[in-house]
Structure 1
Amino acid sequence: MGALMNFAIFPIDKGDHIGEYVSKVVKHIKESGLTYQFGPMGTIIEAETVTELLKIVDEAYKIMDPISDRIYCVMNMDYNKNKSGMIKAKTESVEKRIGKVAK
């Protein structure tokens, strides 16, 4: 079973340079032990269950709450009871057709 989430969270009351705040959440994701892939517009996270992914979202809000009075979050999920390793599989599916993609 596999759950995949594309996720971004950041304060919108801290100006244009928010890497300092976003990095706190990315560090937490990294330390969670879940498979993830960081990108410039969000982070893809893979877990066995949706509950695990929602826990990451909740923890991210707890990280941002003391930092900001206004927090923006966007996410989308793909849950498949019959698959795991979806980050790798989805990437390989496209690369099989067009060759290596930039990471």
Structure 2
Amino acid sequence: MSVLLEFAMFPTSDNCREGSSVSKQVAKIIDAIDKSGVAYQLTPMGTVVETKTMREALDIIELAYEQVKDCERVYSSLKFDIRHNSENRLINKIKSVENNLQREVHK
């Protein structure tokens, strides 16, 4: 099974922000994910991780929250794409689109 989880998590409270920037807090989250060994991709609007189970995906959310739990208020949004009998979709979904783009260009 492949669980793709796209999420954003960041503090909205003044005690954990520097002006309008939350990049230091987000960097703490990304560092923790990196150290966990889970495959991930950082994007300008969030982070995508791929796990083998829903429990592992939810554990990543808990790990992320642990990095910002001292903040008075934290915002988070989550999206899941769960597929059985599949793996490496973090890379393969992008390759599939790129392959289709190449077919369109060569027509």
Work out whether the TM-score is over 0.5: yes
**Displacement after TM superposition at 1:76 (Å):** 0.3
Question: Greater Rg, structure 1 or structure 2?
Answer: 2
**Displacement after TM superposition at 1:51 (Å):** 0.5
Q: Runs of 4 or more off by more than 3 Å in structure 1?
A: none
Identity of aligned residues (%): 34
CA distance in 1: counterparts of 2:51 and 2:26, whole angstroms: 21
3-state secondary structure, aligned to 2:90: helix
TM-score, normalization: structure 2? 0.87
Partner of 1:6: 6
Partner of 1:65: 69
Higher helix proportion (structure 1 or 2):
2
Deviations 1:65-94 (A, max 9, x none): 11x100000110111111011111110110
Unaligned runs of 5+ in 1: none
Letter matched to residue 20 of structure 1: K
Partner of 1:24: 28
Letter matched to residue 52 of structure 1: E
Unaligned runs of 5+ in 2: 103-107
3-state secondary structure, aligned to 1:17: coil
CA distance in 1: counterparts of 2:94 and 2:72, whole angstroms: 37
Partner of 1:51: 55
Deviations 1:28-77 (A, max 9, x none): 111110111111100110010111010010121121111x1000001101
TM-score, normalization: structure 1? 0.90
CA distance in 2: counterparts of 1:36 and 1:77, whole angstroms: 14
